Copies of this chain bind each other. A is one copy, B any other.
Amino acid sequence: MVLLEKTIAAVQPLNEEYMQRMKQRLDSLLKPVGSLGILEKIAIQLAGIMETDNPEIRKKAVVLMGGDHGVLEEGFHGYPRQVTAIMMERFAKGGAGINVLARHVGADVFPVDIGVADPYNPEGIIVRKIRPGTANMTKGPAMSREEAVKAIETGIEIAGDLIDRGYNLLATGDMGIGNTTPSSAILAVFGNYSPAIVTGAGTGLDKEGLEKKRKAIARAIEVNRPDPSDPIDVLAKVGGLEIAGLTGVILAGAARRVPVLVDGFITSAAALVAARLCPLAVNYMIPSHLSEERAHILMLKAIGLKPMLHMEMRLGEGTGAALAMSLVEAATKIPREMVTFQDVGLA
């Protein structure tokens, strides 16, 4: 708990002076004021995060946390649990969606086993397993409060190591068969939504599956009574290990003044927990895409984020966040490489 408390305490507001200066610089450039929209907003945000007139992305990392989910026992999920372990191996070897898209934008992928249940070859994986998957949240808490804190702190440590190694743009990625279920439950609790509103098709449930999922979420909330004013309680009772770990990644980014890209529905659940633990941390988040998972827009609104990419994607793994890395880098080049009105003799 000490590391988590220290991390939250270290999160400071953005530097307004650098943001103001960046805005002035952007307004001097050869274009109608504000006409590059979100690219300009990101440039201003990065100036405020990094406390510099010239934000530069040096090294980019996708932190891809994998964990399993006891709620799979309820039997409505489309893929067997073993797929989590198989995918973790694949992330290390390359050839999964995130490997292709991360390479496309020049980012490194760091798969982290924070709670995978099945055996696999751990070569190339950062193994920091808290426990082999959560318990079935429809019957009791997914994990203990101590485990939730430990998972968050693991995320803080891993992100901290990457930042020490020079990574200054992080993307969140998730792997965990069944993990839209806890993500929906987290949104239901924080947003006080009925399970029907937050329940979506995940990787492709039919009507019957959807109904079972909705009931499982309702039961999990009924059985556990998570307290929305206590984010750790919510995370422990109806969350997941990878979600907790990613919450830590985001908090560490915020504490160390490094921007963190939020990916789809699951990483947004982690971002929502981070926002509730530490509202200032939202300033360090950059949204990426709007997932096909139907409650994603509600989740982003609950955090206060607006997605840039509308790609109809629903793969997870950090794939949307990886695509957005190219946009964040573009944003840093606008103030650095564009000429001003003055440069071309226009007042």
Task: Check A338/B95 contact, CB under 8 A, given A312-B38, A344-B86.
Answer: yes
Q: How far is the CA of A203 from the CA of B35 in the complex (A)?
A: 7
Q: How far is the CA of A31 from the CA of B339 in the complex (A)?
A: 43
Q: How far is the CA of A86 from the CA of B327 in the complex (A)?
A: 27
Instruction: List CB contacts (< 8 Å) of A175-194 with chain B.
Output: none
Contact with B along A297-314 (1 / 0, CB 8 A): 000000000111111111
Q: How far is the CA of A175 from the CA of B323 in the complex (A)?
A: 28
**A327 contacts across to B, CB distance below 8 A:** 309, 311, 323
With both chains docked as a complex, state the minimum distance between the C-beta of A333 and any C-beta of chain B, in angstroms.
Answer: 5
A315 CB within 8 Å of chain B: yes
A119 CB within 8 Å of chain B: no
Contact of A39 among B203, B313, B334 (CB under 8 A): B313
**A86 contacts across to B, CB distance below 8 A:** 344, 346
Contact of A204 among B33, B99, B103, B323 (CB under 8 A): B33
**A319 contacts across to B, CB distance below 8 A:** 36
**A36 contacts across to B, CB distance below 8 A:** 97, 311, 313, 315, 319
Which of the listed residues A33, A35, A101, A315 has the most CB atoms from chain B within 10 Å of its own CB? Answer: A35
A33 nearest CB neighbor, chain B only: B204
Judge whether A330 and B95 touch: CB under 8 Å.
Answer: no
A30 CB within 8 Å of chain B: yes
Judge whether B97 and A333 touch: CB under 8 Å.
Answer: no
A90 CB within 8 Å of chain B: yes
Task: Check A32/B314 contact, CB under 8 A, given A308-B309, A333-B104.
Answer: yes
Contact with B along A73-93 (1 / 0, CB 8 A): 000001000010011011000
A343 CB within 8 Å of chain B: yes
Contact with B along A31-57 (1 / 0, CB 8 A): 111011111010000000000000000
A121 CB within 8 Å of chain B: no
A96 CB within 8 Å of chain B: yes
Judge whether A37 and B314 touch: CB under 8 Å.
Answer: yes
**A37 contacts across to B, CB distance below 8 A:** 292, 311-314
A329 CB within 8 Å of chain B: yes
Task: Check A38/B104 contact, CB under 8 A, given A95-B30, A97-B334.
Answer: no
A20 CB within 8 Å of chain B: no
Complex A-B: 8 CB contacts under 8 Å: A30-B95, A35-B314, A97-B338, A100-B334, A100-B338, A104-B330, A307-B310, A310-B310
With A32-B315, A104-B326 given, can you name 17 additional A-B contacts, CB distance below 8 Å? Answer: A30-B97, A31-B315, A32-B78, A37-B292, A86-B344, A89-B344, A95-B338, A95-B339, A96-B338, A96-B339, A97-B338, A103-B333, A104-B329, A104-B333, A310-B310, A311-B327, A326-B326
Q: Which residues of A contact B (CB under 8 A)?
A: 29-33, 35-39, 41, 78, 83, 86-87, 89-90, 95-97, 99-101, 103-105, 203-204, 292, 306-315, 319, 323, 326-327, 329-330, 333-334, 337-339, 343-344, 346
